[in-house]
Amino acid sequence: MTQRELFLRHVAQTSEAPLCFQVSKAEGVYLFDEAGKKHIDLIGGISVCNVGHGNEKVIAAIKEQAEHYLHVMVYGEVIQSPQVKYAQSLAKYLPSQLQNIYFTNSGTEATEGAMKLAKRVTGRSKMISFKQSYHGSTQGALSVMGSEYWQQAFRPLLPDIYQFDYNDAQVIDAIDDKTACIILEPVQSEAGIIIPDIKWMQAIRKKCDEVGAFLIYDEIQTAFGRTGNLFRFLEIDIIPDILLLGKALGGGMPMGAFISNKEVMDTFMYNPVLGHITTFGGHPVCCAAGLAGFEYLIENNLTDDVKRKEMLFKKLLVHPSILKVSSCGLLMAIHFENYETNKKIIDTCIVNGVFTDWFLFASNALRIAPPLIISEREIEEACRIILKSIDEVLNHS
């Protein structure tokens, strides 16, 4: 049997039409298929591979840590230097309100931990989230996801969840003394890149302070330079009570984190003891890889060119069939008339040498979230292939 046939038979599937792109190697901004053909990666593992595939510093850190030890004990019981070093390094770039870090296995688990933390500290159950938001697909995270399409098959979910439209002023009045938390993305990614109104964000922060509710920022996709700043909240200068990280946090390894202040996080220590536990969260190899990727990002000033590269993409991506290009740094969406057209263009792009995909809540939009190391020449080539693919699809319609 072929690898494709074995993949479809033995690996649990999540859709009826997986991309079935067989990866043989990944290097820099390129993915190589089983025939050795290289493709410019415009997905970056869904905003994971910010420092590129096969980054030498990350690979070296993985090898070095693997030679010392792998898993030794459940999270939080023994001192593991990769965890300590990475937490300390992250804390240097975070404000005083966000200095205590709980490492998880994924962004979804970070969401779960943050929801528990907000309920534990406030003693409240009401949570507010937004339509077309994505925070993960485990049952708690799914409860605050902004789409009935993905929720309905798995109900009943968590009670006391209230959802509003992103940028809707009505949410301000809904934040009250029964509210445990409000969770939002500082850029709504899976909706096709929607940027919030800053005054709206400021009003939410103010109301949360007034009623004692937690403001949770999901920066799982936006952090680590993706939007042109190390963290998106630093750019808008509105600090959350809890910060969620994932995706690029592990330098290509599976990792997430939720971050708050020590006083808040310490509530997991009592009533009950071990209020939040994980076996593999903060795995030493993942922490070593994440720290190496983070240091590479800082040392090479990868955030400095993000806005310029964003503008180059937008300058080149001009075509009569493109309705708009929405973006925040190198988190971009090319909007077409409908999903059918978009899917044909995506499939044609892959054939022509550009790897991309669509968005959960904007299926008519093509995703651009490449490694931040992508060069101007590679951007120009990627855009040439996209425009060529659009023409091929339209000419065959």
- At 83-138, the pLDDT tens digits run 999 999 999 999 999 999 999 999 999 999 999 999 999 999 999 999 999 999 99
CATH of domain 56-299: 3.40.640.10
CA of residue 331 relative to chain centroid, distance = 10
Residue position matching structure tokens 């999901």: 218
User: What average pLDDT does this structure show over 335-344?
Assistant: 97
When pLDDT is averaged across residues 43-66 and rounded to a whole number, the result is 97
- Closest by Cα among 198, 142, 114 to 360: 142
Give me the mean pLDDT over the 352-363 stretch: 96
The string of DSSP codes covering 256-305 is: EEEEE-HHHHGGGGSSSSSSS--SSTT-HHHHHHHHHHHHHHHHTTTTTT
Distance (Å, whole) CA 22 – CA 337? 29
- Sign of the Cα torsion 178, 180, 186, 188 reads negative
d(CA 271, CA 293) in angstroms, rounded, equals: 37
Closest CA to 146 of 173, 160, 165: 165
Strands 126-130 and 179-184: parallel
pLDDT digits (tens, 9 = 90+) for 238-287: 999 999 999 999 999 999 999 999 999 999 999 999 999 999 999 999 99
CATH 3.40.640.10 in the chain: give the residue spans: 56-299
Note the pLDDT of residue 198. 96
* Residue 397 pLDDT: 67
- pLDDT tens digits for range 191-224: 999 999 999 999 999 999 999 999 999 999 999 9
d(CA 147, CA 248): 25
Which residues, at least 6 apart from 202, have a Cβ–Cβ distance to it below 8 Å?
Answer: 238
Confidence of residue 80 (pLDDT cuts 50, 70, 90): very high
Mean pLDDT of all residues in 16-29:
92
Instruction: Say how far apart CA 237 and CA 234 lie, in whole Å.
Output: 5
What was the pLDDT predicted at 19? 86
pTM of the predicted model over 0.85: yes
Q: What is the pLDDT of residues 311-332, one digit of tens each?
A: 999 999 999 999 999 999 999 9
pLDDT at res. 16? 87
pLDDT for the residue 179: 98
Tens digits of residue pLDDT in 139-148: 999 999 999 9
Query: Which pLDDT band holds residue 15 (cuts at 50, 70, 90)?
Result: confident
CATH 3.90.1150.10 residue ranges for the chain: 3-55+304-395
Angle at 253 between CA 190 and CA 296, to 5 degrees: 95
Neighbours of 167 (CB within 10 A): 14
Q: What is the pLDDT of residue 8?
A: 85
pLDDT at 25 over 70: yes
What percent of the chain is modeled with pLDDT above 70?
Answer: 100
CATH topology of domain 3-55+304-395: Aspartate Aminotransferase, domain 1 (3.90.1150)
Q: Tell me the H-state helices in the chain.
A: 3-10, 44-47, 56-68, 81-92, 107-122, 139-143, 148-151, 170-174, 198-211, 232-236, 262-265, 284-299, 306-316, 339-352, 376-395
Q: How far apart are CA 168 and CA 144, in angstroms?
A: 17
Q: What is the DSSP letter of 391?
A: H
- Mean pLDDT calculated for residue range 352-368: 97
